[in-house]
A = this chain, B = another copy of it.
Amino acid sequence: MFLPRPRSLVRDQGELVLDHSTTLGAPPALAGVLAWLQGALRPATGLPFATAEAATIQLSLADELEPEAYQLSVGSHVTICGGSPAGVFYGCQALLQLLPPAIYRRAPVSGQRWSLPAVQVDDAPRFGWRGVMLDVARHFLPKHDVLRFLDLMAAHRLNTLHWHLTDDQGWRCEIRRYPRLTEVGAWRRESQVGAGRDASGDGRPHGGYYTQDDVREIVAYAAERFITIVPEIESPGHVQAALAAYPSLGVTGQALEVWTRWGISRDVLNIEESTVDFFTGVLDEVLELFPSRYIGVGGDECPRDQWRADPRTRERMAELGTDDPQSWFIRRLDDHLTAAGRRSFGWDELLEGSPGPGTAIASWRGSTGTVAAARRGHDVVACPDDLVYLDYRQSELPDEPIPVSIPLAVADVYAFDPVPAELTPDEARHVLGGQANVWTEHADSPRTIDYLVFPRLCAVAEALWSSAERDFPDFDRRLRHHLARLDALGVEYRHADGPRPWQRRPGIPGRPESREERAAHVAGLVANIQVS
């Protein structure tokens, strides 16, 4: 019944039924979790769940458990014990999974019987970074939809949202000292429909951004669910929205519009001191908003043609004594973040140069970056595109909407293991965990995000929480039950037999690849990463 699968589960005889007399109890240190649990149990049941000293459902802390571990026992009453409030929270999430799926509804639907089977569960996650990257730059996701996404993450015990806030196609976070970043950079004239050079534009403006108060609210909401938000401000490529707002940041200095095409803009940041100042200024506001240890600085897919062609850049490179403007720029941001007591977090392209010693890597191009980062002493988060890119098509079916790259079915994703087999146990300690990446070029609404993300994210959640063992038939059986929970939550997931008619995008071009084509392409991309 549990998803993700727990470390140990023993079923006992009997059941406990929640009713009007059921009470909740917790020490003051768990007041936040207790309030969350009340808020989770009340809407669907309509029961009061008053608090009491000797409560039916008792939350507690236990020093001997790992911070995110929990023990859940259901007998004549319920005890949920965790190594920290986070562990207790995950125990509460497990408790919900013992109840009928209707517990996930927000109001009572009928005379449900809220019966808990007697069980003993002993559980802890395998990885400390259980993440999702959500791209709100390509398509803006309104605040309330972000909050809903966080709820869905929490229900799957994911604890890290890598929030991709800026890109060529949009800048989504208010920066007070640079208002044009959102005045100009937060919207574009139109959007490309589908993939490929010949794809048409839709003629419809798109935009939106989060005010700083919105960000504070989202960060606090996430924290109450034990989710850390790692913001990402892209540089020195994927910056066309910033260049549209402040052209002097660019190499050419020419006026640009926020990009209306998908892909990689050729326009990059110049390597002037003033541009470093601008971006460290942005980061200073980001640091105020986000308490996360890691701050994303980007570093992926940065084209170098403009730098090579520009005499002023060649002059600057000579002054600075570097032949790699990207490394130089990211290193300057890393210095700034390190001085502020934080760590930079960037894509595995950084391993083509020499990232700062504290830099953590998001390894997306197969497992090469994971191996290289771990061997070179960098902490690393595995997000290999051939396993956990949830924008990739879900099947070979011709009606898969805007089919991108290789097919990734639930079973494919379920095979994900963040730790490549070639790492020694010592090296593997650098693997913080993994994350699914949700790029949204082709997800222009929250409904489409639901379709791309679920139920594949359920498989990612189990791959990151549970042990390295894989038993797909067992997972699939539990997933079928879990889908009833997603139904109750109103998640418009992809059904196993294919998209619903209204989830199709007939005639919109994708760019499907075979696994062989994709593997060859990625092998070429990572050829110049030094693995050790």
Chain A interface residues toward B at CB < 8 A: 31, 35, 39, 42-43, 48, 50-51, 102, 105-110, 142-144, 147-148, 186-187, 203-208, 211, 213-214, 216-221, 223-224, 445-447, 487-488, 490, 492, 500-507
Which residue from chain B places its CB closest to the CB of A31 in the assembled complex? B48
A502 touches B207 (CB 8 A): yes
B501 touches A207 (CB 8 A): yes
Contact of A205 among B186, B214, B501 (CB under 8 A): B501
Contact of A217 among B109, B214, B447 (CB under 8 A): B109
B205 touches A142 (CB 8 A): no
Which residue from chain B places its CB closest to the CB of A144 in the assembled complex? B490
A492 touches B208 (CB 8 A): yes
Best-buried of A102, A110, A144, A211 by chain B (most CB within 10 Å) = A144
Complex Cα distance A142/B493, Å?
13
14 other A-B residue contacts (CB within 8 Å) besides A35-B42, A142-B490: A31-B48, A39-B39, A39-B42, A50-B51, A106-B147, A106-B217, A107-B220, A110-B213, A110-B216, A203-B506, A203-B507, A206-B502, A213-B488, A445-B445
Chain B residues near A186 (CB-CB < 8 A): 502
Complex Cα distance A503/B219, Å?
27
B107 touches A500 (CB 8 A): no
Closest 5 A-B residue pairs measured CB to CB?
A207-B502, A107-B220, A107-B221, A143-B490, A187-B502
Complex Cα distance A99/B386, Å?
50
A205 touches B504 (CB 8 A): yes
A221 touches B35 (CB 8 A): no
Minimum CB–CB distance from A528 to chain B (whole Å) comes to 40
Best-buried of A50, A102, A108 by chain B (most CB within 10 Å) = A108
Chain B residues near A147 (CB-CB < 8 A): 106
Contact of A502 among B110, B205, B221 (CB under 8 A): B205
Complex Cα distance A207/B492, Å?
12
Chain B residues near A42 (CB-CB < 8 A): 35, 39
Chain B residues near A102 (CB-CB < 8 A): 213
B187 touches A224 (CB 8 A): no
Complex Cα distance A147/B106, Å?
9
Minimum CB–CB distance from A184 to chain B (whole Å) comes to 9
Chain B residues near A206 (CB-CB < 8 A): 502
- In the complex, 22 of the A-B residue pairs with CB atoms within 8 angstroms, ordered by the A residue number, are A39-B42, A43-B221, A105-B213, A105-B217, A106-B147, A106-B221, A107-B217, A108-B220, A109-B213, A109-B216, A109-B217, A109-B220, A110-B213, A142-B490, A142-B492, A186-B502, A204-B505, A207-B501, A208-B492, A211-B487, A213-B488, A214-B490
